[in-house]
Structure formats: structure tokens, C-alpha cells
Structure 1
Amino acid sequence: MRRAEREVAGVAALAGILDRAAYATLSFLDSGAPAAVPVSFGYRVEGGIFVFYIHSAGEGHKMECLQNDPRAVLSAVGDNRIVLAEPACRSTCFYESVIASGEVEFVTAPEEKRAALDCIMHHCGGAGTYDYPEAMLERTAILRLSARSISGKSNTAEMKR
């Protein structure tokens, strides 16, 4: 990272940014070309590893791409504020972000799907556990991305201005 003073490290700090992110962008390869889609997500930390869950339709172009090549990157932006100034080159952006990479796995066990959907619901502000009808569970795909690498970056020192 070029600006080492902006690096965010540690589970709690990275989790704080993820908690403030309304959505993430999942990037993957589409026949060798880059592709990216915004996604709803949830996450857990298991043994110090960030595990991300994403729900999806069971079929479609994204799913075909990930079945062909499961490598993916997830990026999330927490707080973000642009500050315009004169001259324009003095404008800046206060931000915080997390980038995680790994390989997507397809969750098929109904109990793990339920737990993953609860995780996504909790990230969206829900609490507790939810009832998911069997038919819905069958047609909903759950993607699991265990972060092989994860990094955070922040320029929030003056965000409160």
C-alpha cells in the first residue's frame, strides 16, 4: 500500500468498516475479462478469517462465471464523503474501504444456507433468526468467500468536518 498511514489492520477495525458498508461489489472473471456486480452481503469472522456470504439466483451469468473460475474479490466502502475545494486539486475524499480476495464456494447444505441468510439479514439491520421456506432455500444460491487476503484503507481523520 503506497500510503501506509492509511492502512487499516486488525479484525475489529476491518469489521467496523464492513458494518458501515451498505453493500459490496463482487468482482470476478468473465471469460478472462473483469466483471463486477453490486451485492448484498453478510460476514463472520471464523478463526481470524473473514468469511463473506452473498445470496444470488441459482442460475445466471454470474453463477456460470464463478463456476468456471471461482477466484473473486469483494470490495466494500463504509463511510465516504467528497469535499470540493478551490483550486480543484485541493478537493479530497474521506473514505474507508475493505478489499478481500479468495475463491467462491457454493453453499448447498440447508442449515448452512439458513445461517448464511441470517448473517446477511443481520448485516442489513435485522436480529435473531428467520424462517426460510424450503422452496425458497432450494432456489436461492448462497456464495461463500473465505478471505485468503484482506486489507483496509481509510482517510477519515477529517471526515467529521
Structure 2
Amino acid sequence: MRRNDREITDKAEIERFISGEKILRVGFCDNGEVYIVPVNYGYTVDDEKYTFYFHGAKAGRKYELAKACPSVGFEIDGRYELVEAEKACGHSAKYQSVIGNGTISVINGTDEKRNAFSCIMKQATGRAEWEYDDAVLERTALFKIEVKTMSCKARS
């Protein structure tokens, strides 16, 4: 990170930020092209190791890339606020972001799918206890990203 003075290392602050946002952007490499897709997410933290979850169709570019190219990048940003100035080049912004990389995989087991969906629903609604139709679980792809590296940055 070029601006070390903006790095956030406080684990509780990082957790507050991730728990308060709604969209994770996942970046895939597709034959030399970058493919970035925004997704709703849920997550778990086990011994300071993050795992992100999201869902999608069992077909299409995202699904095929997740199976073929397991190395991905990801990004969450928020808390944006424009800081105005008299001159154009004096404008700036307040923000916070998390970026990192990890390994993506498609979840296959029904119990793990239920757990992943519960994480996603908790992030979206604040409620984790839901019932899931087995037919819906069967036709839905659930993905997990096991984080290898992650950093958080803010300008306030």
C-alpha cells in the first residue's frame, strides 16, 4: 500500500466496515481480460481468516470462471463523501475500502449451501435464520472465496 498513513489495521474497525456494507466486487481473469462482477455477499471470520459467500446461476461466465480460474481479486468500498474545494484539483473524497485476493470455489454440499445462504441473508437483512427449499438449493450456485490477503484503507 502506497499510503501507509491511510491503512486500517484495527481488526474491529475492519469488521465494522465489512459488516456494514452490501456489495462485494469479484474480479476474474478471463483469457487476459478482467471481468468484474458486483454481488451481494455474506461472510464468516474464523481466527481472523475471512471467507466470503455469494450466489448465482449454475451457468454463465461467472460460474465457468469460478470453476476454471480459482484465483480472484475482490473489493468492497463505502463511506464515500465528496470533499469540495475552490479549485477542481483541490477536490477529494472520504472513503473506506477493503481489497484482497483469494481462492474461489463452488459449494456442493447441501448443509454448506444452507450455511452460506444464511451468511448472505444475514448480511442483507440482519436475520440469519431462514428455511431453504431443497429444489432452490439444488439449482442455485453458491460460491465461497477463501481470503489469502486483504488490506483496508480509509481517508477521513
Same fold (TM over 0.5): yes
% of aligned pairs identical? 33
Tell me if the contact between 2:105 and 2:143 (Cα under 8 Å) persists in the aligned partners.
Answer: yes
Q: Provide the C-alpha distance between the structure 2 equivalents of 1:95 and 1:8, rounded to a whole number of angstroms.
A: 12
Q: Give the aligned partner of residue 20 of structure 1.
A: 20
Q: Provide the C-alpha distance between the structure 1 equivalents of 2:109 and 2:10, rounded to a whole number of angstroms.
A: 31
Q: Is the aligned partner of 1:29 residue 2:29?
A: yes
Q: Provide the C-alpha distance between the structure 2 equivalents of 1:86 and 1:10, rounded to a whole number of angstroms.
A: 34
Q: Provide the C-alpha distance between the structure 2 equivalents of 1:56 and 1:110, rounded to a whole number of angstroms.
A: 15
Q: Is the aligned partner of 1:140 residue 2:140?
A: yes
Q: Give the aligned partner of residue 82 of structure 1.
A: 82
Q: Provide the C-alpha distance between the structure 1 equivalents of 2:20 and 2:14, rounded to a whole number of angstroms.
A: 10
Report runs of 4+ in structure 1 exceeding 3 Å deviation. Answer: none
SS at match of 1:124: helix
Q: How many residues align?
A: 156
Q: Give the aligned partner of residue 66 of structure 2.
A: 66
Q: Provide the C-alpha distance between the structure 2 equivalents of 1:15 and 1:77, rounded to a whole number of angstroms.
A: 13
Tell me if the contact between 1:72 and 1:102 (Cα under 8 Å) persists in the aligned partners.
Answer: yes
Tell me if the contact between 1:21 and 1:79 (Cα under 8 Å) persists in the aligned partners.
Answer: no
Q: Provide the C-alpha distance between the structure 2 equivalents of 1:79 and 1:121, rounded to a whole number of angstroms.
A: 22
Q: Which runs of 5+ in 2 are unaligned?
A: none
Corresponding letter in the other structure for 1:49: K
Give how far 1:128 is off.
Answer: 3.5
TM-score (norm 2): 0.95
Q: Is the aligned partner of 1:111 residue 2:104?
A: no
Q: Which runs of 5+ in 1 are unaligned?
A: 157-161
Query: Residues 17-41 of structure 1: CA distance to partner in whole angstroms, max 9, x if unpaired?
Result: 1122221111011122111011000
Q: Provide the C-alpha distance between the structure 2 equivalents of 1:111 and 1:37, rounded to a whole number of angstroms.
A: 26
Q: Provide the C-alpha distance between the structure 1 equivalents of 2:73 and 2:128, rounded to a whole number of angstroms.
A: 29
Give how far 1:126 is off.
Answer: 2.8
Q: Provide the C-alpha distance between the structure 2 equivalents of 1:97 and 1:134, rounded to a whole number of angstroms.
A: 36
Q: Provide the C-alpha distance between the structure 2 equivalents of 1:155 and 1:110, rounded to a whole number of angstroms.
A: 41
Q: Provide the C-alpha distance between the structure 2 equivalents of 1:42 and 1:100, rounded to a whole number of angstroms.
A: 16
Q: Provide the C-alpha distance between the structure 2 equivalents of 1:27 and 1:99, rounded to a whole number of angstroms.
A: 11
Q: Is the aligned partner of 1:101 residue 2:64?
A: no
> What are the equivalent positions in structure 2 for 1:122-161 lying under 5 Å apart?
122-156=122-156
Indicate the RMSD between aligned Cα atoms, in angstroms: 1.1
Query: Residues 101-148 of structure 1: CA distance to partner in whole angstroms, max 9, x if unpaired?
Result: 111011111111111111011111231410110110001111110110
